[in-house]
């Protein structure tokens, strides 16, 4: 019994010791267990901003750059540089990278998608895009099409040529729709140079551009100053379909810059043959070309032809009138003005028409006749403007009557608000000099008084010249 009590007491002591030990170590054990649990939990959950596998591939963005081949023919499509490393087999990791890139492109994360492609390309793994397609994924051509759109989205159009060059090297199909979509994107961003470079690839692939694409290529070439190439594109367009009015206008303007009257007239005839819509805007471009080429007889004939069809406006007549003024043909200018002033004429002259006719008389040295246009202008209900005054003044450099000088001063007072100080300073100086030559002190005095009244200030060097003239006159 004593032994039993002793064992019972021993168990009690042991139990008490264990309880005391657990009580003393309990806090440390709990903290240790909680630490392990937290570590395991946070191992699968990111703290703060962590990068996924896809995001890590996009950390360092290096846009793919194609270095030109020194031995390559100028103007030919550039090919992507060869990579030293060759991927003999495709790992699941590479497929995952491509999948991440495709997803980024689909989510319009353009910079990230391009960065991932740059990383793949840097080690030659971009060739796996074709195998990506073989696994039932997105087609390789669609992947590259998405990357092209990404290049436009981040404002890096120069990357497009590199992407297309990679497609050539990897033998990825490039349908016409791919090129047209890429050109449309580049045109929207006014990247005409890059759009033209795609046409090199397109033609190298043996594809025939559609009429819409050719029409766009005409505009691209003109924007880049490649006139001959624009004409070539237009001729190809005209050979396969009827060009749009926009394409016609583009080429007409090109011929106008070249002063190529023969080609302009041939284009007008082609438009008539194809029954393309003709209007006064098309006509006016052709007329200005004829004037620039000094083909006034033929230009006037085209004007008369379109006038009978009712396809002319005041600008049409003013364009031909300008040609007569440049050729100092005052007689032809007056005849054209008379055609517009006839009662049955549907087009009435404006201030520009009269001023141009006056200019034709001044240039021809028929100053008195030029002044005769002024009453016709007033009769038509038009008031002279600053151009009328300055044009008439040009004709008085070699002498003028007192009445003409007074008329100039009267006109100047009415149109004072239209000009600037330098122009009126020039006019008053010339009036005073001409009046001095005419030995008419009354007109000189009036000019000086009017100049002071209107507070026109003459530059110091011009003032000295004017004082010298007045002293000589005195």
Q: Where are the domains of the chain?
A: 52-68+77-173, 389-474
Q: Which two tokens stand for residue 55?
A: 């995001």
Give the dihedral sign, CA 57/58/60/61: positive
**C-alpha count within 13 angstroms, C-beta hemisphere, residue 94:** 18
Cα 462 to Cα 425, 441, 449, 469: the distances in Å are: 9, 20, 17, 11
CA nearest to 337, candidates 375, 310, 303, 376: 376
Assigned token pair, 126: 């971009």
**Helix, strand, coil percent content, the chain, rounded in steps of 5:** 70, 0, 30
Residues with Cβ < 8 Å from 376, sequence gap 6 or more? 337, 341, 354
pTM above 0.75, yes or no: no
**Residue 215: closest CA among 246, 255, 174, 259:** 246
Nearest of 288, 263, 290, 268 to residue 279 by alpha carbon: 268
Please list the pLDDT of the chain residue by residue as tens digits (474 residues): 444 443 444 444 445 554 554 455 555 555 555 566 555 554 443 333 333 444 444 444 344 444 444 344 344 444 444 444 444 456 788 888 888 998 998 888 999 999 999 999 998 888 888 887 666 667 888 999 999 999 988 988 889 999 999 999 999 999 999 999 999 999 988 999 999 999 999 999 999 999 999 999 999 999 999 999 999 999 999 999 999 999 999 999 999 999 999 999 999 999 999 999 999 999 999 999 999 999 999 999 999 999 999 999 999 999 999 999 999 999 999 999 999 999 888 899 999 999 999 999 999 999 889 999 999 999 999 999 889 988 888 887 766 777 888 888 888 877 766 666 677 777 777 777 777 777 777 877 887 788 788 777 766 656 556 666 555 555
- Non-local (6+) Cβ contacts of 227 within 8 A are 221, 254, 257, 258
Q: Which residue has the tokens 């023969």?
A: 262
C-alpha angle 109/113/118, rounded to 5°?
150
- Our measurement of the distance from residue 209's CA atom to the centroid of its chain's CA atoms, rounded to an integer in Å, reads 23
Nearest to 77 by CA among 160, 158, 165, 180: 165
Q: What are the E-state strand segments in 263-400?
A: none
Return all residues near 461 (Cβ < 8 A) that are at least 6 apart: none
Q: Within 13 A of 430's CA, how many CA atoms are on the CB side? A: 23
**Pick from 454, 350, 354, 360: which is nearest to 410 by CA?**
454
Question: What is the token pair recorded at 146?
Answer: 């998405």
Distance CA 174, CA 180 (A): 11
């Amino acid at each position: 019994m004593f032994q039993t009590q002793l064992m019972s007491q021993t168990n009690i002591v042991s139990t008490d010791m264990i309880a005391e030990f657990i009580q003393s170590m309990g806090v440390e054990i709990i903290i240790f267990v909680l630490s392990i649990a937290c570590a395991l939990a946070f191992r699968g959950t990111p703290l703060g901003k962590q990068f996924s596998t896809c995001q890590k591939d996009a950390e360092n963005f290096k846009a793919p750059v194609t270095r030109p081949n020194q031995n390559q023919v100028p103007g030919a499509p550039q090919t992507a540089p060869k990579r030293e490393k060759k991927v003999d087999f495709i790992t699941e990791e590479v497929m995952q990278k491509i999948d991440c890139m495709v997803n980024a492109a689909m989510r319009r994360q353009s910079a990230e998608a391009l960065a991932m492609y740059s990383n793949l390309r840097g080690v030659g793994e971009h060739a796996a895009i074709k195998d990506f397609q073989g696994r039932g994924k997105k087609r390789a051509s669609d992947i590259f099409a998405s990357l092209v759109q990404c290049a436009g989205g981040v404002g890096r159009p120069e990357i497009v040529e590199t992407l297309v060059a990679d497609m050539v090297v990897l033998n990825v199909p490039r349908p016409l729709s791919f090129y047209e979509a890429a050109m449309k994107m580049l045109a929207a961003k006014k990247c005409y140079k890059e759009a033209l470079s795609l046409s090199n690839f397109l033609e190298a692939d043996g594809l025939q551009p559609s009429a819409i694409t050719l029409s766009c290529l005409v505009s691209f070439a003109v924007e880049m100053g490649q006139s001959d190439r624009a004409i070539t594109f237009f001729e190809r367009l005209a050979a396969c379909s009827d060009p749009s009015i926009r394409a016609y206008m583009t080429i007409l303007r090109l011929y106008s810059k070249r002063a190529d009257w023969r080609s302009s007239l041939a284009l007008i005839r082609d438009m008539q043959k194809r029954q393309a819509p003709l209007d006064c805007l098309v006509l006016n471009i052709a007329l200005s070309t004829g004037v620039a080429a000094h083909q006034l007889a033929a230009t006037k004939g085209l004007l008369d032809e379109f006038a009978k069809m009712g396809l002319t406006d005041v600008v049409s007549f003013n364009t031909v009138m300008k040609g007569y003024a440049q050729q100092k043909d005052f007689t032809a200018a007056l005849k054209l003005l008379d055609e517009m002033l006839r009662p049955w004429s549907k087009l009435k002259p404006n201030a520009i028409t009269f001023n141009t006719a006056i200019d034709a008389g001044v240039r021809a040295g028929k100053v008195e006749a030029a002044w005769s246009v002024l009453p016709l202008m007033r009769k038509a209900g038009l008031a002279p403007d600053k151009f009328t005054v300055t044009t008439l003044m040009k004709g008085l450099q070699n002498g003028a009557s007192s009445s003409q000088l007074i008329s100039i001063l009267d006109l100047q007072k009415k149109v004072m608000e239209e000009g600037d100080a330098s122009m009126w300073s020039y006019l008053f100086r010339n009036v005073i000099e001409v009046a001095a030559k005419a030995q008419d002190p009354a007109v000189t005095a009036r000019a000086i008084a009017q100049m002071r009244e209107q507070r026109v200030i003459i530059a110091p060097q011009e003032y000295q010249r004017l004082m010298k003239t007045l002293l000589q006159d005195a």
